[in-house]
Amino acid sequence: MKIITRFAPSPTGNLHVGNIRAALHNWLWARKSGGQFLLRLDDTDLERSRPEYADAIKADLQWLGLHWNGEEKQSDRFALYEEKFERLKASGYVYPAYETSQELELRRKVLLGRGLPPVYDRSALHLTADQIATFEAEGRKPHWRFKLDHDQPIVWTDLIRGEQRFDPKLLSDPVIRRADGSWLYMLPSVIDDIDMGITHVLRGEDHVSNTATQIQMFTALGAPLPHFAHEALLTGSEGKLSKRLGSLGVAHFRENGLEPIAILALLARLGTSMPIEPFSDIQPLIDSFDFAHFGRAPARFDEAELAALNQKIVHLLPYQSVSERLPQGMDEAGWEAIRPNLETVAQAADWWRIVTGPIEAPELEEEDRAFLATAREILLEAPFDTAIWRTLTNMLKDRTGRKGKFLFLPLRRALTGLDHGPDMGQLLPLIGRDEAVKRLS
């Protein structure tokens, strides 16, 4: 069986970290199995869907490297939905209901007040022709519900949660179409999954009850069931569901200089038994993806953990992978020297200015002035090669008797304007003899 997964966001807003995680896991499973990963824009909500959001979703996925093998828009598929809807209506699987939203809400509150589950009572199935005529005369248009089969329990084996069992009598017949003719999520999603040949539906655990009702829709349409996997939802670092997670998206991550692979490396393993590791390549994440590693506990997302992981990954990145993002003139030697001090690649420009100058000259004690004058004399006479820092400090130690921070700190301050930074053994050859002599003057 060829594996086909899909990511189906609604273009009513930007992707957030939870969406990205779902897209990534679908992508990883497709790539591991040599299958296909499809992008479907669920834009049936014509009022709220925007082309700019659709463009942003695609741009975000491309920046993350989650390239897709095919693309569909639900707004292009209304004729197919209409055809399947008429088929279900003819076979008695859907029925019209005339309650207003206010009437339904009142019934719901009454049931809850009695301590009962707020399940729709199917009163629309018992309307007489006269009642329907009265509603129509009032100008009421029906919404449409899918009629669940109450005779058999709904059972499936979830790839993450194991066996799932629902009593359909405890579920409301889902509304699949509004009175204005517009579609809700449930039925079009099933029709698309069938038509697109989706073999695996991987999504958040908040869709488990949706899956229970959609399974009966697959059956009503005479289609085999895909495999379902429902992963635990993300929580914030404080350990509970966080509204902030809904605002964390690719734009936020890019503004903070994070690497796409850092985001992928964290989200790929969150909620699994696998360790979170600083990969600079996606292949190990593809190779290790396994539903058996997923747990049921909420997956905890921590921005501080992501930043720390990003720093580790930056320290692994070879020059060739970042050269186009580095400041002009910074070569591989410069990258190797500065890389260990970076949290993000963008910070390389700040450190490179220490090499190219100008720097802010530090205030010096009188004894340090004489010390640096000696250092300047040594730089002018010693061979300026890759070992110049060792040569300089050894000769200074011999001539001045200084050692430890009294030897190294005044030199670093004079040469860089800072008390800490990249390895001076790598940095000084990059600064060059003339500039170094100038800074010591």
Domains (ranges, CATH) in the chain? 4-71+185-234 (3.40.50.620), 80-177 (3.90.800.10), 243-314 (1.10.1160.10), 322-352 (no CATH), 366-440 (1.10.10)
Closest CA to 25 of 55, 3, 54: 3
Residue 237 has a pLDDT of: 74
Q: Is 80 helix (H, G, I), strand (E, B) or coil?
A: helix
pLDDT digits (tens, 9 = 90+) for 133-145: 999 999 999 999 9
Distances in whole angstroms, Cα of residue 222 to Cα of each of 87, 178, 187: 11, 24, 14
Closest CA to 29 of 293, 289, 294: 289
Distances (CA, A) of 243 to 18, 53, 235, 240, 427: 11, 20, 9, 10, 45
CA distance 201 to 308: 32
Q: Which pair of tokens denotes residue 400? A: 């001045």
pLDDT at 66 over 90: yes
pLDDT tens figures, 314-360: 999 999 999 999 999 999 999 999 999 999 999 999 999 999 989 98
- Looking at residue 159, its amino acid is L
Q: Give 1's pLDDT tier (boundaries 50, 70, 90).
A: confident
SS3 95: strand
Average the pLDDT over 34-54 and give the result: 95
Q: Could you report the per-residue pLDDT of 184-217, keeping only the tens digit for each?
A: 999 999 999 999 999 999 999 999 999 999 999 9
87-96, 139-148, 263-272, 364-373: least confidently modelled range: 364-373
Residue 239: the pLDDT is 63
Report whether 88 contacts 219 (CB < 8 A). Answer: no
Return the pLDDT at 363.
Answer: 85
Cα 80 from Cα 82, distance rounded (Å): 5
Q: Is the model's pLDDT at 242 over the cut of 80?
A: no
Does the annotation list 243 as a binding residue? Answer: yes
* Gap between the Cα atoms of 40 and 276, Å rounded: 29
| Measured distance CA(270)–CA(276) in Å, rounded | 8
Tokens 């991987």 appear where?
A: 202
Q: Which of 158, 157, 160 is CA-nearest to residue 289?
A: 160
Question: What's the pTM value of the predicted model, to 2 decimals?
Answer: 0.90
Rounded to whole angstroms, the maximal C-alpha distance in the chain is 110
* DSSP letter for each residue of 240-287: S--GGGGG--HHHHHHTT--HHHHHHHHHHTTBSSPP---SSSHHHHH
User: Binning pLDDT at 50, 70 and 90, where does residue 291 land?
Assistant: very high
How far apart (Å, rounded) are the C-alpha atoms in residues 42 and 400?
Answer: 74
